[in-house]
Amino acid sequence: MSSARTATTPPSPAARAAHPVVRPYGDTTGDGMVQVSFTLPVPHDKRAEGAALQLAQKMGLDPALLVHAKAMGPDFTFFVVYGSVRHVVDLGAVQVVEREYPLLGTKEVNLAVRSRLRRKLVVVGATIGTDAHTVGIDAILNLKGIAGEKGLEHYRELRVVNLGSQVAVPDLVARARAERADAVLVSQVVTQRDAHLANTREMAAAFNESYPSGRRPLLVVGGPRFDEAMAADLGVDRVFGRGCTPGEVASYLVHALVPAPRGGAR
Ligand code: B12
């Protein structure tokens, strides 16, 4: 069932030529001012503040101003540093994952599924591993939705099975099989020790093992700290990041799973 893969779009020569080089802006255009925050494992004193400034200078902030320092318990200090960087951003060299499908309204999604798939499209969703952050996946799946958009449950032609949080991968695979899922939507919010990457790879491997080649459901992961360009590396079909909305996901499901109309785009 899975098909569409994503790729970053390298900038075309025309795009490179059309885009200027820019610098950060603080007080005056192009002054290079940025603000960074970090924590050092040292008690808060003058030496700690000097250490923060040394780090800022090594990071290319020159001049660097220490604007905030606060003890975080007896052994750590949190800093905010404001300073000017010499680095520039070449807008023509920026690579992003472009949306390769049109954004559809609710009615268009329902019509496409009903007329071209000719059955309900089944979506199974969960958070996996120890991740208990359900707000993101619920925003995509639940009727309530997010940002003024209703979630996938609102779409008449989608059947949504929301398994909730901390679902073990074998249970997710078993339920996806039982529900005859067309798509499996997984959320990963905690990124400590790259748990989101390890869990996603484990999940993708389990689906590949459990289904005949090319027959597994579409695998979609989402969460605020994913790199959208990592789909192939993670073994999934699509990665959605921060600010993603249900409409984008529904449109993608149509693009990836619903046969194209005869002689036209999806
Ligand atoms: C609410 C919250 C909690 C709640 C969660 C309640 C719940 N039922 O979800 C509670 C209090 C339980 C909690 C616990 C913990 N939390 Co917490 N939590 C948050 C907080 C404040 C908000 C997260 C949130 O709801 N965002 C709103 C939703 C709508 O945004 P979203 O998740 O990004 O989802 C959007 C997109 O990413 C995308 N998306 C997300 N998933 C998916 C899936 C698919 C398929 C698709 C298509 C799209 C998609 O679409 C969504 C809509 O746009 C964040 C900090 C922050 N401000 O982000 C910390 C944060 C995520 N938590 C954190 C931590 C560390 C924890 C704990 C480990 C703390 C502790 N020591 O106990 C525990 C872990 C519990 C566990 N086992 O997972 C850290 C994670 C750090 C990291 N890098 O990993 C954060 C970033 C706070 C911080 N700055 O330290 N947390």
Model pLDDT, residue 261: 86
With a CB cutoff of 8 Å and minimum separation 6, the contacts of 253 are: 109, 121, 123, 158, 182, 183, 218
Give bridge partners of residue 238 from the DSSP assignment: 220
With a CB cutoff of 8 Å and minimum separation 6, the contacts of 194 are: none
Catalytic site residues?
144
How many CB atoms are located within 10 Å of the residue 48 CB? 18
Q: How far apart are CA 123 and CA 249, in angstroms?
A: 11
The atom number, within ligand 1, closest to the CA of 188 reads: 41
Q: Which of 133, 142, 193 to mutate to test the pocket of ligand 1 (most atoms within 8 A of CB)?
A: 133
Q: Which two tokens stand for residue 188?
A: 């990963």
- pLDDT tens for the chain, 266 residues: list them: 333 334 456 656 665 566 689 999 999 999 999 999 999 999 999 999 999 999 999 999 999 999 999 999 999 999 999 999 999 999 888 888 889 999 999 999 999 999 999 999 999 999 999 999 999 999 999 999 999 999 999 999 999 999 999 999 999 999 999 999 999 999 999 999 999 999 999 999 999 999 999 999 999 999 999 999 999 999 999 999 999 999 999 999 999 999 998 776 55
- 5-34 per-position pLDDT tens digit: 344 566 566 655 666 899 999 999 999 999
240 lines ligand 1 (CB under 6 A): yes
Model pLDDT, residue 97: 85
The atom number, within ligand 1, closest to the CA of 185 reads: 45
Q: Which domains does the chain have, with CATH numbers?
A: 24-87 (3.30.30.60), 106-257 (3.40.50.280)
Backbone angles phi, psi at 170, to 5 degrees: -60, -35
